[in-house]
């Protein structure tokens, strides 16, 4: 039984449950912490230290009976023999930055559900201790990098180390918030504009390779949604309705009255939700692997099931995204991991944590199935046949049966991030669909 010792005399016994997929079934995730409310009178950091027993040590990758190994040797043993099972190509992608202290990073991931329940912030010191700073009583996530502070807001308005778009970056104020965006116009506009909506916790660069296929004959607009990318990250509660308001306000500021909508994952979810909300404003819709293509889960009593979903959709790309979002043989997988590492290091902060979990939970508690039959627009709907982590393949197939005017496209061998894995093929098909140059329509 693992014990979490909290400062000022508090303690909590934590039930241990496996949480990840079988390749990392030794991860000891914490799904229940009934007695772990942080005291309200804590002003400074509230220190929490995990006391590891023999079983925990074995799970961490070293045998407590082999005392001849010093700590450094044990860490490297784990890095070489245990981490590669769920960190593909970790040596090539992150090198010594990860291998130098794998146990600390592992402990951070173990604590994330405990921090979720307390609604605070977590920081790991160089010696492996963990500091907990109580905050709002909303879910939060341990930082993906120990270099990114939890108690200081990130204020970057443009990428520094993370790769950035080749297009001119601009800013606009929408409902009092600054949003970063790009606006690409062709020499001759032959079609209505298209608003591209990025995925959960992502940014406009997600569609960098998709843009050329769509911008040849129409205006393409892509904003960083509030709380994500390099737009403002207000300290507030986030939900899907707030993102919808922000996107509608963005179109107003851009002077766009009529447009197509396209996006994947969270973006695909918002495409279909916006079409229901203001059907006359939008022409054609393209949604790939849309979040919300599932039956809703509600209530903290089934948090374990919610978290099982969230691990596939909303876990930061730094560690396991390549296993669930990208196919194993995709040549760009390692580069995507490096880019994600640099991006999350730059934008992680308390407000980003709040957005991350608020939007994630709001999505799993809602479904597109109930109102899909009311969407009268022509819809291009797509998914990868390897996108099975959330049963996304089955969910999208079912969603297609509910939409009155749909063209369903299955990309063989692809997973969740179609705009990254198959940008040319996806871009050509979406371009043709939006331009009505192909025989798209009801199946």
* For the ranges 10-24, 53-67, 216-230, the one whose mean pLDDT is highest: 216-230
251's CB contacts (< 8 A; 6+ apart) are 195, 221, 257, 259, 281
Task: Extract the tokens encoding 97.
Answer: 């930055």
Q: Decide if pLDDT at 301 tops 80.
A: no
Work out the pLDDT band at 330, boundaries 50, 70, 90. Answer: low
Average pLDDT, the chain: 68
- How many alpha carbons fall within 13 Å on the CB side of residue 130? 26
Displacement of CA 2 from its chain's centroid (Å): 29
Asked if residues 392 and 416 have their Cβ atoms less than 8 Å apart, the reply is yes
Determine the average pLDDT of the residues in 293-298.
75
Mean pLDDT in residue range 419-438: 91
pLDDT digits (tens, 9 = 90+) for 382-395: 999 988 766 788 99
Closest CA to 276 of 224, 241, 226, 238: 241
Question: Which tokens belong to 346?
Answer: 């730059």
> Which of 355, 360, 269 lies closest to 312 in space, CA to CA?
360
Predicted confidence band at 409 (pLDDT cuts at 50, 70, 90)? Answer: very high
* pLDDT per residue as tens digits for the range 164-196: 999 999 999 999 999 999 999 999 999 999 999
Q: Which residues contact 119 (CB under 8 A, 6 or more apart)?
A: 134, 135, 136, 137, 138, 139, 140
Give the CA diameter of the chain: 72
53-79: pLDDT as tens digits: 333 333 333 333 333 334 444 444 444
Q: Residue 213's pLDDT band (boundaries 50, 70, 90)?
A: very high
Which of the four pLDDT bands, split at 50, 70 and 90, describes residue 121?
very low
pLDDT greater at residue 272 or residue 90? 272
pLDDT of residue 168: 98
| Rounded Cα distance, 356 and 362, in Å | 10
Q: Which domains does the chain have, with CATH numbers?
A: 3-133 (no CATH), 170-435 (3.40.50.1820)
Contact criterion met (CB below 8 Å) for 186 and 218: yes
Q: What is the 3-state secondary structure (H, E, C) of 311-342?
A: HHHCCCCCCCHHHHCCCCCCCCHHHHHHHHHH
User: Which tokens belong to 377?
Assistant: 């627009």
Minimum mean pLDDT among 237-241, 288-292, 320-324, 389-393: which range?
320-324
Q: Which of 379, 374, 376 is nearest to 441 (CA)?
A: 379
DSSP secondary structure code for residue 165 in this structure:
-
State the pairing for strand pair 46-51/121-124.
Answer: unpaired
> 3-state DSSP call for residue 359?
helix
**Helix pair angle (240-254, 350-364), 10° resolution:** 110
Position 426 confidence tier, pLDDT thresholds 50, 70, 90:
very high
Inform me whether the pLDDT recorded for 199 exceeds 50: yes
Residue 45 burial (C-beta neighbours within 10 Å; 0-12, 13-18, 19+):
middle
pLDDT at 268 over 80: yes
Output the CA torsion sign for 391, 396, 201, 232.
negative
Contacting residues for 362 by C-beta, under 8 A, at least 6 apart: 238, 239, 240
Q: Point out which residues pair with 122 in neighbouring strands.
A: 132
């Amino acid at each position: 039984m693992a014990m979490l010792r909290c400062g000022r005399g508090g303690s909590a016994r934590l039930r241990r449950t496996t949480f990840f997929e079988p390749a990392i079934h030794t991860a000891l995730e914490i799904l229940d912490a009934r007695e772990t409310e942080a005291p309200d009178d804590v002003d400074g950091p509230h220190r929490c230290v995990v006391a590891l027993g023999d079983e925990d040590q074995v799970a961490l990758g070293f045998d407590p009976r082999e005392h001849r190994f010093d700590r450094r040797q044990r860490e490297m043993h784990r890095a070489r023999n245990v981490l590669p099972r769920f960190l593909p190509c970790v040596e090539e992608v992150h090198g010594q930055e990860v291998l130098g202290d794998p146990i600390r990073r592992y402990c951070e991931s173990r604590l994330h559900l405990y921090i979720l329940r307390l609604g605070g912030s977590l920081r790991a010191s160089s010696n492996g201790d963990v500091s907990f700073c109580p905050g709002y009583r909303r879910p939060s996530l341990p930082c993906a990098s120990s270099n990114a502070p939890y108690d200081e807001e990130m204020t970057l308005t443009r990428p520094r180390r993370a790769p950035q778009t080749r297009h001119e970056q601009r800013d606009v104020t929408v409902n009092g918030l600054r949003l970063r965006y790009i606006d690409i116009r062709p020499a001759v506009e032959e079609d209505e504009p298209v608003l591209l909506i990025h995925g959960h916790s992502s940014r406009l660069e997600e569609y960098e390779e998709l843009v050329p296929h769509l911008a040849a004959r129409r205006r393409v607009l892509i904003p960083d949604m509030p709380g994500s990318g390099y737009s403002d990250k207000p300290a507030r509660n986030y939900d899907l309705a707030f993102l919808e308001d922000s996107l509608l306000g963005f179109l107003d500021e851009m002077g766009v009255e009529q447009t197509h909508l396209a996006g994947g994952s969270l973006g695909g979810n918002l495409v279909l939700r916006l079409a229901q909300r203001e059907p006359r404003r939008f022409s054609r819709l393209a949604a790939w692997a849309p979040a919300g293509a599932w039956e809703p889960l509600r209530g903290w009593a089934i948090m374990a099931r919610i978290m099982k979903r969230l691990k596939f959709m909303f876990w930061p790309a730094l560690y396991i995204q390549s296993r669930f979002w990208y196919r194993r043989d995709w040549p760009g997988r390692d580069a995507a991991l490096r880019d994600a590492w640099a991006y999350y290091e730059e934008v992680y902060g308390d407000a980003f944590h709040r957005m991350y979990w608020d939007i994630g939970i709001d999505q799993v508690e809602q479904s597109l199935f109930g109102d899909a039959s009311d969407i009268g627009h022509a819809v291009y709907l797509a998914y990868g046949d390897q996108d099975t982590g959330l049963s996304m393949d089955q969910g999208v197939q079912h969603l297609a049966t509910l939409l009155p005017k749909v063209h369903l496209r299955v990309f063989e061998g692809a997973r969740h991030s179609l705009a990254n894995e198959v940008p040319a093929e996806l871009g050509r098909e979406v371009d043709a669909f939006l331009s009505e140059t192909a025989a798209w329509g009801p199946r």
